[in-house]
Amino acid sequence: MYLRRAGFRPLLAPTGERGVELAVERQPVLVVVDVGLPGIDGFEVCRLLRRRSDVPVLFLTARDAEVDRVEGFARGGDDYVVKPFSPAELVARVEAIVRRGRAAPQEETVFALAGGVRLDVAGRTASVDGSAVALTGRELDLLAFLARNRCLALSRRQLIDGVWGPDFDGDERTVDVHVRQLRRKLGPALALATVWGLGYRLG
């Protein structure tokens, strides 16, 4: 209600899982999340968002213990407001976070790659010679990370940290599986090269 009066148009999610989906789909300027949620908690919401988005996250919760505050920032939160709160202060904090985000340099989101491949990161789409290609979310994230680091040889560990996140504890060879899928779907002209003994390089 307070944010709506300040000119924002809130989107409400009934669960943490749905909140993550909405944030990825709708690309809001800010996510406000409680720690105690149905399903996954707010800390997990923030961790999952950080794997797929740089959207600012503000925790708004009754949990005021120092350990909770520290956990919120450790998971990637940008601010932590404890209930009961001052509505004016909440709006001021939200507006400050949004201003910082708008002032930050905008990251490139559309890439024209070799082989007629076009990637629109914000739109979550890829195409070859104008024809849409269905990529999974993880394949899109991997291609975007490679595109932002064009011509650099990246190790599997670097790709894991950049796409899956540093907390990923699975097999690093999952990168190889996703690279094979990208090559199959986008064609050999993509110029996604194997760097023997290290990982991969795009371009």
pLDDT of residue 101: 66
pLDDT of residue 109: 79
pLDDT of residue 9: 86
Contact 43, 75 (CB under 8 A): yes
Residue 64, classified by CB atoms within 10 Å of its CB into exposed (0-12), middle (13-18) or buried (19+), is exposed
pLDDT of residue 33: 93
pLDDT at residue 103 is higher than 60? no
pLDDT at residue 104 is higher than 60? no
pLDDT at residue 106 is higher than 60? no
CATH number of 2-103: 3.40.50.2300
What percent of the chain shows pLDDT beyond 70?
A: 96
Contact 193, 200 (CB under 8 A): yes
Q: Quick one: CATH architecture of 110-202?
A: Orthogonal Bundle (1.10)
Q: Across all residues in the chain, what is the average pLDDT?
A: 87
Report which DSSP code applies to 163. I
For residue range 165-200, what is the model confidence (pLDDT) as tens digits?
A: 877 777 888 999 999 999 999 988 788 999 998 899
Contact 77, 148 (CB under 8 A): no
Give the CA dihedral 81, 82, 87, 88, nearest 10 degrees: -50
pLDDT at residue 8 is higher than 90? no
Mean pLDDT value across residues 12-39: 88
Copy the structure tokens of residue 93.
Answer: 């904090």
Strands 117-120 and 125-128: antiparallel
For residue range 115-129, what is the model confidence (pLDDT) as tens digits?
A: 889 999 888 889 999
pLDDT of residue 197: 87
Strands of 3-151, DSSP E: 31-33, 57-61, 79-82, 110-113, 117-120, 125-128, 131-133
For residue range 44-68, what is the model confidence (pLDDT) as tens digits?
A: 999 988 887 778 899 999 998 999 9
Q: Which residue has the tokens 């996703």?
A: 178
CA-to-CA distance for 61 and 75, rounded, in angstroms? 15
**Count of other CB atoms within 10 angstroms of residue 66:** 7
Domain boundaries, the chain: 2-103, 110-202
Contact 156, 194 (CB under 8 A): no
pLDDT at residue 29 is higher than 70? yes
CA-to-CA distance for 35 and 3, rounded, in angstroms? 19
